[in-house]
Amino acid sequence: MTATGTELGKTFTSAALLHGARQAGRSVAALKPVASGIDDGNLADSDPAVLLAAQDIACDWAAVERICPWHFRAALSPDMAAAREGRAVPFDELLRFCRQTLEGPAEFALVEGVGGIMAPIDERHTVLDWAAALEIPALLVAGTYLGTISHTLTALTTLAGRGVPVAALILSASPDSPVPPAETAAAIARFAPDLPILHVPRLAGAEAWRRVPLYADLMRSGRTSTASTGRR
């Protein structure tokens, strides 16, 4: 799970997919291996906490560590946040951590990235390098704000250039959308005619992701094999 930028709804989208997969009777596993801006004061509202809730797992530091071993206090890109703590994200270890889950027994396994597709993880690697190295399909989240068409087409071109297949584009409604999501989807579809484009509305309320039938929509899109580990 990646995005054209940060704060666009990756975690909300991931939670909706996990919840839907569980409702459909599939076993699930989710990772958020790298996260910034987490401390004792906001642990319960953090991205890993949302993924745990979507799997009906109680949130505490031990549970967070199991799915998010590289978490940092500063709300910055991972390389900057880690540097402020005298740490770094070891890229090879990150890949091994993800592959353990992707090769495990879960029928629906999901790895949520951090920031946008070109966010730096360390001094030499970006989220794009991470996605390409794992050799699994991507779900790309984009907003519906003014400028998203250019950002989305740029991200799709970048992913294609590294051989990362995109299972679907998920438009996550922005509060300042200048046009309806369907109009944005139609504009993008002219340049990516074979790409399933799904929509996630902006909903208020705790655990609103439970009300989004995104998993069913993804299965209907015909990309049933690319939402998880690439094995199905």
What angle do helix axes 148-161 and 181-189 make, rounded to 10 degrees?
40
Catalytic member of 3, 21, 31, 32: 32
User: Who's near 113: CB < 8 A, 6+ residues apart?
Assistant: 1, 2, 3, 10, 34, 119, 127, 130, 131
Closest by CA to 156, choosing from 143, 173, 139, 144, is: 139
* Known catalytic membership, residue 10: no
Report the C-alpha gap between 13 and 30 in whole angstroms. Answer: 12
Report the C-alpha gap between 39 and 63 in whole angstroms. Answer: 14
Q: What totals of helices (H) and strands (E) does the chain contain, helices first?
A: 9, 8
Q: Which two tokens stand for residue 195?
A: 């790409």
- Which residues are tagged catalytic? 32
